[in-house]
Copies of this chain bind each other. A is one copy, B any other.
Amino acid sequence: MAMPLASETSHTVRKTLEFVQHHRLAKGDRLPSERELSERFGVARSSVREALAVLDAMRITERKPKSGIFLRNAVEDGGLDALVLQADLGLAFDPQVTRDVTEARIICEGRALQLACQRRSDADLAKLHGLLDSYAALIEAGGNPADADVDFHLAMVAASQNRILVRTLTPLMLMSRRWRQRYFQSAEICRRSLDDHRAFVAAIEARDEAAVATLVRRHVQTAAADVRALAEQGGAPPTETA
C-alpha cells in the first residue's frame, strides 16, 4: 500500500513540483502555462491538466481561469498530503518540518494509544499480535519493515476506536516512511524496533497508559534522532533528480 502515484499523471506532478523547487517559486508566483508545461515535460496538455487538478486539490496551485496557474502555497505550506507527496517523490525537506512531524506524531499518537489502552477490543489485540508476528517474521527474513511499521502503528491507533485519529496520523506516518526506509537497513535498528513494538502491545494489553505514553515519546524521538544522524552522515538529502 501507500504508493498513491501512478504513471504519467504522477510523473507530471513530480516534474511540476521539481520545476517549482528548481526555480525557487514562491507563494503567488506564476507557473508557465499549461501548454508550455506540456511541451516542456513532453506530455499532452491533458496529462498536465490531470496533474494540476491534483495539485489544485492539495492547495499547492491555484488555476485562475483565463489568467494563469499560481502557486497558492510553498509546497511545505500545502496540505499534509502535499508533504507526503513530496516525501514519496524524494524531494528535499526543510529540517524544521521533520522536527515538527516528530512533535506532532508524539502528541497525536501518544494520546491515541492512551485511548487505545482504554478502549481496545480483544479483536484489536488479536490483530496487533498478528501484525507483530508478521513483523518479526519480516525482519527475520531480512525484509525492509518500513511499510509494515506504518501498518503496525496505524493498527495501534485504530484500537483507539477513533477513525479520525487514524486519518490524522496516516500522513504523518507516510511522510517519514521514506526516511525510515534507509533507516531500517540496519539490522540492529530493526531489532530495536521489534522490541519496542512488543513493548507497545504488552502495554496496550495491560492497559498501561503511562507506559504507552513513555514508549511513544522514546520510540519516535529515537527514530527521529537516528534518521537525523543518518542524514548528516549520508550527506545532502535525497533530491534524486530524475
- Residues of chain A at the chain B interface (Cβ within 8 Å): 4, 6-7, 9, 46, 49-51, 53-54, 56-59, 63, 65, 76-81, 83, 96-97, 100-101, 103-104, 107-108, 111-112, 115, 162-165, 167-168, 170-172
Contact A164 B97 (CB under 8 A): yes
Who on chain B is nearest to A64 by CB?
B6
Residues of B within 8 A of A171 (CB): 79
Separation of A101 and B53 alpha carbons in the complex (Å): 27
Residues of B within 8 A of A108 (CB): 104, 107-108, 168
Contact B80 A167 (CB under 8 A): yes
Closest chain-B Cβ to A13's Cβ sits at a distance in Å of 8
Contact B4 A103 (CB under 8 A): no
Closest chain-B Cβ to A16's Cβ sits at a distance in Å of 13
Residues of B within 8 A of A46 (CB): 46, 49
- Which residue, of A6, A57, A65, A172, has the highest number of chain B Cβ atoms within 10 A? A57
Contact B163 A172 (CB under 8 A): no
Residues of B within 8 A of A96 (CB): 163
Q: Besides A80-B168, A108-B108, 17 other CB < 8 A contacts?
A: A6-B63, A46-B46, A46-B49, A50-B50, A54-B54, A54-B56, A54-B57, A57-B57, A57-B58, A77-B163, A79-B170, A100-B162, A103-B115, A104-B165, A107-B108, A107-B112, A168-B168
Contact A111 B100 (CB under 8 A): no
Contact B6 A165 (CB under 8 A): no
Q: Which 8 A-B residue pairs are closest in the complex by CB-CB distance? A: A100-B164, A50-B53, A54-B57, A104-B164, A107-B111, A100-B162, A53-B53, A80-B167
Separation of A99 and B157 alpha carbons in the complex (Å): 16
Separation of A164 and B83 alpha carbons in the complex (Å): 10
Contact A165 B53 (CB under 8 A): no
Residues of B within 8 A of A168 (CB): 80, 104, 108, 168, 172
Residues of B within 8 A of A112 (CB): 107
Partner of A97, one of B63, B76, B163: B163
Partner of A53, one of B54, B78, B103, B163: B54
Contact A100 B170 (CB under 8 A): no
Contact B81 A57 (CB under 8 A): yes
Separation of A115 and B99 alpha carbons in the complex (Å): 14
